[in-house]
Structure formats: C-alpha cells, structure tokens
Amino acid sequence: MSAGQLHSLEELDQFVSQAGKRLLFKHSTICPISTTAHEEFLSFLQEQDVPAAVILVREDRPVSNEVAERYSIKHESPQIFLLEDGQVKWHTSHWKITKAAIAEAIQG
C-alpha cells in the first residue's frame, strides 16, 4: 500500500476521521534524517496493508501545523503518528522512526 499526500485541512479531516489504525507521516523533503525515516516508512508499507498518508511540512505547512495543534503534540520533522479511530495511540520522530518501531506500534 502506498501513502497519499494530504494537501488541505479537509483531506486531513477525511483521513483521520476514518475508523481503524492509520499512519500519518510528516516529511521534510530537504532533511536527510527525514529522507531516511521516509524510506523506513515506505519499506514498512510495502509489507503491511495499513492506510497511510504523508504531509510535506514545507509545502503544506497549514496541514502540518493543524496536526500539532489538534493533538497537542509538538511539531517535529520527520514525525510519525499511529492513529486509531481518530486518536493518537503512538508517535515518534527522527531516528526513532524505523520499520521495526512502526511494526511494533501497529501490533501493540
């Protein structure tokens, strides 16, 4: 499964309002750490069928800022969230974003 990009608050609302587990990844296209984390994220998605979306933090800053405000979680980049039924169940950032960490969070 691949991850679509969220460009608007409406797309964010639609994505997070759906039931079940979903992954949301905040990505900076100019950051080497984010590039590595994004590769781990995509590698996970190649093996697991989990709905997922990406927010490009520079290009879609209002959407990125809304995630930080809505869930009261300080913005970082890269950053990943596991949502379940619209609530954040797990999140991490930077080098802690690994395929194994995502798999563990999904199963937990």
pLDDT at 1 over 70: no
Look at residues 56, 89, 59, 57 and name the one whose alpha carbon lies nearest to residue 71: 89
pLDDT at residue 102 in the model = 98
Tell the CATH topology of 4-107: Glutaredoxin (3.40.30)
pLDDT tens, residue by residue, 28-86:
999 999 999 999 999 999 999 999 999 999 999 999 999 999 999 999 999 999 999 99
pLDDT at 13 over 90: yes
Domain map of the chain by residue range? 4-107
SS3 (DSSP) at 81 = strand
Query: Mean pLDDT across the stretch 91-106?
Result: 98
- Residue 74, amino acid: K
For the chain, the helix, strand and coil percentages under 3-state DSSP, each to the nearest 5? 45, 25, 30
Q: Tokens at residue 49, please?
A: 């069928």
